[in-house]
Amino acid sequence: MTLKQAIHHARGSLAAKNIEDALLESELLLRHALKISQTQLYIDFDRELSPKQEKTFWNLVKRRLKGEPTAYIIGHREFYGYDFQVNHDVLIPRPESELLVEKAIQIAQNRSGVTIAEIGTGCGAIAISLALNLPKAKIYATDISAPALKVAQANCQKHGVTERVCLLPGDMLDPLPEPVDLIVANLPYVGESELPIQTSSEPRLALDGGPDGLEKIRQLASQLNSKLNPESYLLLEMGQGQEKAVTTTLSSLFPSAKIEVTPDLAGIDRVVSLHLTRLS
Ligand code: GLN
């Protein structure tokens, strides 16, 4: 069987299980099995797989068919154009979270000496993408999970930003040593009733937002006062249908702050921004 035929086969099996991006995932799995780059994959398309290579590949495809996400099988995932290591201790970065990065860059790029904190950094994808795009920013990244911070540490090394991203263990804003100009967070926001639907073996700690999904967001909002500078911003990711509850919570705590909601590419209200001015 050639590489091309193997991909064709795997694609069919994944698509039959309603796995989106079946072609892309088949290519990622085959590249992982053979330890080759994308370019090499295309160069070798008509080459025959050895029986051993075929076996290794189908074992990976079988794991995927049983529900294990490709990112965990191959141990990495692309986000904002960069490659990040992932394992079962961290949430797999989602494309919709790139909106948080875009918004944060828009806010921070014209400010000099800006200090940013990412709360609940997981594998570090958001904080590291910010560090790579905002060379002058000082960045803190916190997480309550020590194993998650280990993954973030590895990713900081991989991207050469260990000096730029200060990883801090602890809950929410507690570990921050000073007030900051911008807080970015993709907190757990999945409600209790939807949690059992999440079958992807991702850490519950990174998804569980309590009964209505908003427990962590409310907790963070209530701590903001002490950790935001007078002229500052908060950017939060949220789930489908949560915009009203989130904006109401924020506007009751900060009645004169400017609050905006931005939809993701699928049209779902995904990011809420809060702009605190001196008068808020
Ligand atoms: N967007 C993720 C999901 O739907 C949830 C991430 C989160 O809770 N922050 O699986």
Of 191, 200, 185, 187, which Cα lies nearest the Cα of 88?
A: 200
pLDDT of amino acid 244: 97
Report the C-alpha gap between 219 and 175 in whole angstroms. 15
Query: In 3-state terms, what secondary structure has residue 69?
Result: coil
Please state, for a pLDDT cut of 90, what percent of the chain lies above it. 91
List pLDDT tens digits, range 109-121: 988 889 999 999 9
- Other C-beta atoms closer than 10 Å to the C-beta of 125 total 32
CA of 186 to the centre of ligand 1 (A): 8
**According to the model, what pLDDT value does residue 201 have?**
83
* pLDDT for res 111: 87
Q: pLDDT of 54-86, one tens digit each?
A: 999 999 999 999 999 999 999 999 999 999 999
| Residue from 79, 100, 123, 190 to probe ligand 1 pocket by mutation (most atoms less than 8 Å from CB) | 190
**Average pLDDT value for the chain:** 95
Compute, in angstroms, the gap from residue 215 CA to the centroid of ligand 1: 14
Whole-number Å distance between alpha carbons of 62 and 40: 24
Please check whether residue 30 is in contact with residue 40, taking contact to mean a CB–CB distance below 8 angstroms. no
Residue 170 confidence (pLDDT) above 80: yes
Q: Enumerate residues 6+ apart whose C-beta is below 8 A from 85.
A: 75, 76, 123, 151, 154, 155, 158
- This prediction has a pTM of 0.94
Domain ranges of the chain: 3-74, 89-276
Percentage of the chain beyond pLDDT 70 is 97
Nearest CA to 52 out of 34, 68, 70, 65 is that of 34
Distance between CA 201 and CA 148 in Å, rounded? 15
Q: Answer yes or no: CATH 3.40.50.1980 is held by domain 3-74.
A: no
**What pLDDT score was predicted for residue 200?**
63
Q: Is the pLDDT of residue 280 over 60?
A: no
Comparing 151 with 112, which gets the higher pLDDT?
151
pLDDT score of 198 more than 80: no
- Indicate if ligand 1 lies below 6 Å from the C-beta of 115: no
Residue keyed to tokens 């939060």: 236
Reported as a pLDDT band with limits 50, 70 and 90, residue 192 is: confident
DSSP 76-101: EEEETTEEEE--TTSPPPPGGGHHHH
Residues counted in the chain: 280
- Dihedral Cα 238, 221, 80, 266, nearest 10 deg: 20
- Assigned architecture for domain 89-276: 3-Layer(aba) Sandwich (3.40)
Quick check: 147 pLDDT over 60?
yes
Give the mean pLDDT of 29-47.
Answer: 96
Mutate-to-test residue for ligand 1 from 20, 77, 94, 271, highest number of ligand atoms within 8 A of CB:
94
> Looking at ligand 1, which atom is closest to the CA of residue 189?
8
Q: Which two tokens stand for residue 1?
A: 């069987």
